[in-house]
Each structure stands twice: as C-alpha cells, then as structure tokens.
C-alpha cells in the first residue's frame, strides 16, 4: 500500500550526496510522496557556502520542483528563529509560499521547551504566519512543544478555513482534542515507537482515523529500531506499523487512510 511522509527536512546537509539514494529507498519502501519542509536557516558549518536566511527556504521549493510527482514543499520560520525574523524575511516568506510547489505555510509555532526565542516574540511570529496561511488560502504546518494552550489559543483566534496539520504531535488526548476541535489534522512521527510514549499512544488510539497523518521529521526522531541514527522517509513505514498495532487495525488500512488524509490536508497531487 502507498505511504506519504508528510514532514521531511530533505534539504538539510545531513543528506548531501546521499539524497538520490535516500529518495530511491523511499520509493522502494512504497512511498508515493514526500513533503519537504523549508525554513529560515542559519549558516551551516558542515556546508560552507550554503544558502541561509529565507533563501534557504527556497531550497525545499526547488527540490520539490525537481520532481513534482513525488515531492512537495512548505515554507516557514521555526519558533527557534523567531528573534531573528525581520520584516524582509516575512515578505520573502510570502513570496515563497505563493509558489505552486509550496503547498503549505510552516512549520511555524511555539517551542517552550528550548525557549531559543522569547515567548512573546514566538507568539507574534506564529500569529503572523497563521494570518499568512489564511490570506493565501493554504494549510498551516504547526510545531508546538510544551505550549499547547498558547498554540491552541492563537489558532482559535487566527486560523482560517483551510486548516492544517499539527506536525510531530507528542501530546496527550486532552491536547489532541483541542486541535481536533479546531478542524486540524494530527501527524505522528517515530516518537510513537519510543518506550516512554505511552500517553502519545493512548492519544493515537483515540484520534479519529480520518484525521491522522504519519511523518518522519527526518533527519530527526528515527523510529525504533533505528533510534539515534539519521532518519529518512523510508522509515515512516515503521511508524505506520506501530500505529496499526496501537489501533488494532490492518496495516493496509492505516497506510491507505494516512495517505488519503495527507493528500486532503495538504492538497497534494493525486
């Protein structure tokens, strides 16, 4: 059955010359589409001369343009980088998000775990990107960590009718209900396979099947048994397998449902 990795950072330096082989393994694993997440980026010492700032977000769009049938892109500013955002960055982000290969705005949101940018600045930048998605009539890709109440509050106030996805959801059932009430889809990563993720698995068993997606968030969060290694889109099947176990469903049903959900939520090509 087909699968879609709804959130992958394939433009990162972690892949380098290995990207063609990585995409080949994804196809061999049954994937029919991968969503490449573009974002503002600081200089990368592992990749001297690589593009930075909002120019880096264009890497995802250009990668998607190289294979429109298999790849789509998003673009946004991560909450970690909120303190560095400028008006020029937001204007450039709007231009990038207008590109046809860019299917959604984000990832954007709030991260109170690391607090790499002041919380009020995070909230302001998040709200601006939610309003951008609403204006462009595109879905939103949301990052939230230890900030569910503020994230839900901003979404309740600003979110448009085009909805979006809570990416790499790691919360409990109470948090999931807040996002479901707003009409959002919820995407599960390899964290679902981690030993300590009992509350997440409980939520995954309760969330309506027609609102669930699967993702890798690669190169991060490789699922068991690859935990601690570089993640890649082919491993999304392991998350789908664990989700099927949690819900007591045939794997084929979970694969088909999450693929249809990703196409609908992010308006991916058929």
Domains of the chain with CATH codes: 3-266 (3.20.20.140)
Question: Would you state the pLDDT for residue 164?
Answer: 98
Q: Which backbone phi and psi does 237 adopt, to 5 degrees? A: -60, -35
For residue 47, pLDDT beyond 70: no
pLDDT at 45: 57
Say what the alpha-carbon torsion angle 16, 20, 23, 28 is, to the nearest 10 degrees. Answer: -140
pLDDT tens, position by position, 214-254: 999 999 999 999 999 999 999 999 999 999 999 999 999 99
pLDDT at 52: 81
- Predicted confidence at residue 240, as pLDDT, reads 98
Whether the bond between 43 and the residue before it is cis, its omega within 30 degrees of 0, is: no
pLDDT in tens, 172-193: 999 999 999 999 999 999 999 9
CB half-sphere exposure, 155, CA atoms < 13 A: 28
Residue 44, pLDDT score: 66
Average pLDDT (123-149) is 98
Q: Over pLDDT 90: what percentage of the chain?
A: 90
Q: What is the pTM of this model?
A: 0.96
The predicted model gives 208-213 an average pLDDT of 98
In the sheet that 3-8 helps form, which strands lie side by side, from edge to edge? 3-8, 31-39, 71-76, 102-111, 140-145, 164-166, 185-188, 212-214
- 48 pLDDT above the threshold of 70: no
Question: What integer best gives the mean pLDDT of the chain?
Answer: 95
Enumerate the H helices of 159-197 as residue ranges. 173-181
Structure confidence at residue 41 as a pLDDT band (50, 70, 90) = confident
Res. 50 pLDDT band, cuts 50 70 90:
low
- Tell me what pLDDT residue 18 has: 94
Q: How confident is the model at residue 76 (pLDDT cuts 50, 70, 90)?
A: very high
Least trusted range by pLDDT, from 39-53, 152-166, 177-191 = 39-53
Residue 46 scores a pLDDT above 60: no
3-state secondary structure of 184: coil
Span 106-124, average pLDDT: 98
DSSP string, 13-72: TTTGGGHHHHHHHHHHTTEEEEEEEEE-B---TTSTT---HHHHHHHHHHHHHTTTTTEE
Stretch 59-73: mean pLDDT, rounded?
96
Please give the average per-residue pLDDT across 30-40, as a whole number.
Answer: 96
Q: Give the relative orientation of helices 119-136 and 148-158 as an angle to the nearest 10 degrees.
A: 30
Q: How confident is the model over 66-84, as a mean pLDDT?
A: 97
Asked if 28 contacts 234 with a C-beta cutoff of 8 angstroms, the reply is yes
**How far is Cα 49 from Cα 204, in angstroms, rounded to an integer?**
42
CB–CB of 38/59 below 8 Å?
Answer: yes
**Given a cut of 90, is residue 51 above it in pLDDT?**
no
């Amino acid at each position: 059955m087909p699968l879609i990795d709804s959130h992958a950072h394939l433009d990162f330096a972690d892949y380098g010359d290995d990207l063609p082989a990585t995409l080949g393994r994804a196809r061999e694993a049954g994937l029919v589409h991968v969503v490449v997440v573009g974002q503002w980026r600081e200089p990368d010492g592992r990749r001297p001369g690589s593009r930075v700032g909002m120019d880096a977000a264009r890497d995802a769009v250009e990668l998607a343009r190289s294979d429109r049938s298999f790849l789509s892109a998003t673009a946004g500013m991560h909450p970690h980088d909120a303190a560095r955002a400028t008006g020029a960055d937001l204007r450039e982000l709007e231009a990038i998000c207008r590109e046809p290969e860019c299917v959604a705005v984000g990832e954007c949101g709030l991260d109170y775990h690391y607090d790499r940018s002041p919380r009020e600045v995070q909230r302001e930048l998040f709200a601006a990107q939610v309003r951008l998605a609403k204006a462009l009539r595109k879905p939103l890709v949301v990052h939230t960590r230890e900030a569910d109440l503020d994230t839900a509050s901003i979404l309740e106030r600003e979110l448009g009718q085009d909805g979006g996805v809570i990416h790499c959801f790691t919360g409990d059932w109470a948090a999931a209900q807040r996002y479901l009430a707003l009409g959002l889809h919820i995407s599960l990563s390899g964290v679902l396979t981690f030993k300590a993720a009992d509350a997440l698995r409980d939520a995954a068993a309760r969330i309506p099947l027609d609102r669930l997606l699967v993702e890798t968030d690669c190169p991060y969060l490789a699922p068991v048994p690859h935990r601690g290694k570089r993640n890649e889109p082919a491993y999304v099947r392991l998350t789908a397998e664990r989700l099927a176990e949690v819900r007591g469903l045939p794997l084929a049903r979970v694969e088909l449902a999450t693929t249809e959900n990703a196409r609908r939520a992010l308006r991916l090509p058929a």
